[in-house]
C-alpha cells in the first residue's frame, strides 16, 4: 500500500510543532515626554562629609587619607533626584590603596579592604547608606541593603 503525502499538510504540521517564541519578559518603558535635566549632574557639595572632596567639575570624588582620615567613611549625595522610573549609573574606583600603604595599621584579613555603598536615599536622610530606613544600596560585595539591615 502506497501513501501519498500532501506537501501542504506536512508544512502545516511542522508549523504546529514549532514552539511559540516567548514574548519579552521586560517591555521597554514608554517614551518619556517630560523635560530633561538641563544642568550638570554631579555631587551636592553642601551635602558631603568633611573628608569627601568633589573634584574635576564634580565628576570625581576624592577622600582624604592623611592624618587618620583613612579610617573615616566618606559620604556624598548627588545634586539631582528621581521620583520614578528606571535609571542606570556607574561607579568606577580609580584608586584605593590599603591602609597599610597609607601609613595606617594593617587590618585583619577578615575586615573588608574597602567599604563602598552606592544607592538611593531621600534628601534629608543620612549620608551613610544602610544606616537609616530612608535608603537602599549595594555594597562592594554586591549585598543589597535597605532599612537598617
Average pLDDT over residues 43-67: 83
Grid coordinates belonging to 141: 560585595
pLDDT tens figures, 62-114: 888 788 887 788 888 888 888 877 777 777 777 766 555 555 555 555 655 66
Of 16, 104, 17, 34, nearest to 65 (Cα)? 104
Q: Specify the pTM.
A: 0.61
Distance CA 104, CA 27 (A): 50
Strands (E), the chain: 43-48, 52-55, 60-63, 76-78, 117-121, 135-139, 144-146
Amino acid at each position: 500500500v502506497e501513501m501519498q503525502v500532501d506537501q501542504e499538510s506536512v508544512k502545516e504540521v511542522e508549523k504546529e510543532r514549532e514552539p511559540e517564541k516567548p514574548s519579552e519578559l521586560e517591555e521597554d518603558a514608554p517614551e518619556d515626554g517630560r523635560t530633561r535635566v538641563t544642568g550638570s549632574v554631579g555631587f551636592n557639595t553642601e551635602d558631603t562629609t568633611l573628608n569627601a572632596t568633589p573634584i574635576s567639575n564634580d565628576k570625581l570624588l576624592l577622600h582624604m587619607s592623611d592624618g587618620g582620615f583613612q579610617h573615616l567613611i566618606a559620604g556624598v549625595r548627588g545634586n539631582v533626584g528621581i521620583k520614578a522610573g528606571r535609571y542606570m549609573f556607574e561607579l568606577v574606583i580609580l584608586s584605593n590603596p590599603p591602609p597599610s600603604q597609607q601609613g595606617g595599621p594593617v587590618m585583619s584579613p577578615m575586615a573588608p579592604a574597602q567599604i563602598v555603598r552606592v544607592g538611593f536615599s531621600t534628601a534629608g536622610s543620612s549620608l551613610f547608606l544602610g544606616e537609616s530606613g530612608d535608603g537602599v544600596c549595594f555594597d562592594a560585595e554586591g549585598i543589597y541593603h535597605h532599612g537598617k539591615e
